[in-house]
Amino acid sequence: MRKFAFALLAIFFATVSYAQDDTAAMTDTTAVQSDAKKFSFGFKANVNFASERNAPESRSRTGFAAGFFAEVKLNHRLSLQPELLYSQQGSFQYLYKGVKTKGDNTLQYDYINLPILLKIYVMQDKLSIEVGPQFGYMVSHKEKREPSRQTPRVEKLKKEWMNEFDVSAAIGVSYKCYGPFDIYARYTYGFTDIYKGDIAGMIEADPQKRYFIDNKNSVIQIGLGARF
Residue 63: pLDDT above 50?
yes
**Percent of the chain's residues with pLDDT above 90:** 46
Summarize the confidence of residues 90-102 as an average pLDDT.
64
Residue 79: pLDDT above 80?
yes
The reported pLDDT for the residue numbered 123 is: 87
**Percent of the chain's residues with pLDDT above 70:** 70
Residue 176: pLDDT above 80?
yes
What ranges in the chain are assigned the alpha helix state H?
A: 2-26, 35-38
Q: Which residues pair with 125 in a beta bridge?
A: none
pLDDT tens per residue, range 16-56: 454 445 544 444 434 444 444 688 999 999 999 999 988 77
The reported pLDDT for the residue numbered 45 is: 97
Residue 217: pLDDT above 90?
yes
The reported pLDDT for the residue numbered 131 is: 97
CATH classification of the domain holding 121: 2.40.160.20
Residue 65: pLDDT above 90?
yes
Q: Are strands 216-227 and 127-147 parallel, antiparallel or unpaired?
A: unpaired
Q: Is 80 exposed, middle or buried (0-12, 13-18, 19+ CB in 10 A)?
A: buried
The reported pLDDT for the residue numbered 29 is: 37
> Going along 124-215, which residue ranges are E strands?
127-147, 153-156, 165-176, 181-193
Residue 196: pLDDT above 60?
yes
Summarize the confidence of residues 107-118 as an average pLDDT.
95
CA-angle at 175, arms to 79 and 116, nearest 5°: 35
pTM of the shown model: 0.77
The domain in which residue 144 lies consists of: 2-227
The total domain count for the chain is: 1
